[in-house]
Structure formats: structure tokens, C-alpha cells
A = this chain, B = another copy of it.
């Protein structure tokens, strides 16, 4: 965990509103576990004030670089998208705990289920799982054809099924529809995406082994402010909790209350 000025090596549009940024700096050395995130100050000064949490999508230890993919939507991400090659960005990271891959064994099959801007953290995860010798199917859900990204990259690590909500590309419907339609079976499920998607997955596959990565509005990103807590499924009304930023963002399926 470091606060460092990183250098923008690349910042390019990938799909409608979606950008790819490659950042370089010594912070990369600390990045091991897929699914961690960085917390980015998109501009000096107070406008906007808070950092923006963005998942690490890919890591290149040789060049001390890592990749993030993000949707330029609000003020902070729009400013981030405007950074040019060579500019410096104030980044805190790597933060949180990524996807555990120790238990998954060579030869087993994995489904990576990503929804929209939840897709990025699954990419480096997939690479790692492939290295371990697992069979990977990626099910990637997007709004429409224009917002599809990284299909080719995921193809390099396994099979890919794309679904779009409006049916303009791939399977029409949600990722759960796509998994069913393809009749996919798997030993492990790793997922990241909007909460309703994660809930649907937990409901449809109540026995599945695996992990989900969550999002929540954050203050500090390091576990100090209690902005990002969630209840546990075995104590949904009680005082036990997990912090998404520092205990997560990745949790075992059915561990925490998705809300």
C-alpha cells in the first residue's frame, strides 16, 4: 500500500465511454492478487474532492505497469479519461484483498461472470487461473453492442460468451440468461458487476463455490472511515460487518449481504 505519483503510459478509448489506462510506477511491485483496486485522485485540488476506486485489470511486472479500465461518467472519471500520456496521477494502492485462487486446481473449470464495468478485475484473474491450468469461460454482460469491451482479450484466456441487455450483440439478456442458454457447468464462479447481477447469481447457483467482488461508495478506501461496510449473511441485522475496501472488495459467495 503506497501513495505514489504514477505515469500515464497510455490512455485510450476502448468502447463507448470506456477507457483503458496504463499506469507505471513502483507500486506495481506490490500488486499480486488479482481483484485489488487503486484509489485515484483524478485532479489536484478540491474539484472533485474524493479519490475514485478503480480495479486493477492487468499487471505487467516486467515494465512496472498495470492497466485499469473505466467508464468516464461523472466528474472524476471524465477527468481521468482526459489524461494524456506522460502525465502524472496521484494513486493510492494496491488496496483491498483480491480473488483467492489457491483452492482452484488445474483441470477444474471456472466461469468468470462480469457485468459492465465489473468486467475489468476478472481479466488478470483469468490470466492467473489459466496459468494454473484451469479451463476458463468468461460470461460478459453489457448494456449494448457499443459498450462491449475486452472480448478479444478474454478470448485469449478461454471461451467467451457475451450478452447484451438490448440484444444488439451476442446473447440477448443478462449474464444469468447467457449461462443458462449455454448450459454452462463449472467448479468455480468468480464474479464482479452490479449488485442485482450478483444477487441473481447467488440465487441461481446456491451451491456454487467462488467469489464476488463488490462496489460501494467509499471515503478513505483503506478501512478507516466505515463508509463501505456490509452485513454478513449469517448475521444480517447484527453488528458484525465487513469493510468492502479493506476486508474486500472480494468475498466468498454468500458471505456478505448484497444490498
Residue A47 interfacial (CB < 8 Å): yes
Interface size bucket, A side?
Answer: under 10
1/0 per residue, CB under 8 A from B, across A242-259: the answer is 000000000000000000
With a cutoff of 8 Å between Cβ atoms, the chain B residues found around residue A47 in the complex are 45-47
| A47-B48 Cα distance, complex, nearest whole Å | 9
| A46-B47 Cα distance, complex, nearest whole Å | 6
A44: nearest chain-B partner, CB-CB = B47
With a cutoff of 8 Å between Cβ atoms, the chain B residues found around residue A46 in the complex are 46-47
**Contacting residues of chain A (46-82) with chain B, CB-CB under 8 angstroms:** 46-47
| A47-B45 Cα distance, complex, nearest whole Å | 7
- What's the minimum C-beta distance from A76 to chain B, rounded to whole angstroms? 12
A79: nearest chain-B partner, CB-CB = B45
- What's the minimum C-beta distance from A90 to chain B, rounded to whole angstroms? 15
- What's the minimum C-beta distance from A101 to chain B, rounded to whole angstroms? 42
1/0 per residue, CB under 8 A from B, across A194-219: the answer is 00000000000000000000000000
- What's the minimum C-beta distance from A177 to chain B, rounded to whole angstroms? 42
With a cutoff of 8 Å between Cβ atoms, the chain B residues found around residue A45 in the complex are 47
| A43-B47 Cα distance, complex, nearest whole Å | 11
**Contacting residues of chain A (35-49) with chain B, CB-CB under 8 angstroms:** 45-47
- What's the minimum C-beta distance from A131 to chain B, rounded to whole angstroms? 44
- What's the minimum C-beta distance from A41 to chain B, rounded to whole angstroms? 13
- What's the minimum C-beta distance from A207 to chain B, rounded to whole angstroms? 50
**Contacting residues of chain A (1-56) with chain B, CB-CB under 8 angstroms:** 45-47
| A45-B47 Cα distance, complex, nearest whole Å | 7
| A237-B103 Cα distance, complex, nearest whole Å | 84
- What's the minimum C-beta distance from A168 to chain B, rounded to whole angstroms? 35
- What's the minimum C-beta distance from A190 to chain B, rounded to whole angstroms? 39
- What's the minimum C-beta distance from A216 to chain B, rounded to whole angstroms? 26
- What's the minimum C-beta distance from A21 to chain B, rounded to whole angstroms? 21
A-B contact pairs, 4 of them (CB 8 A): A45-B47, A46-B46, A46-B47, A47-B47
Closest 4 CB pairs of A and B: A47-B47, A45-B47, A46-B47, A46-B46
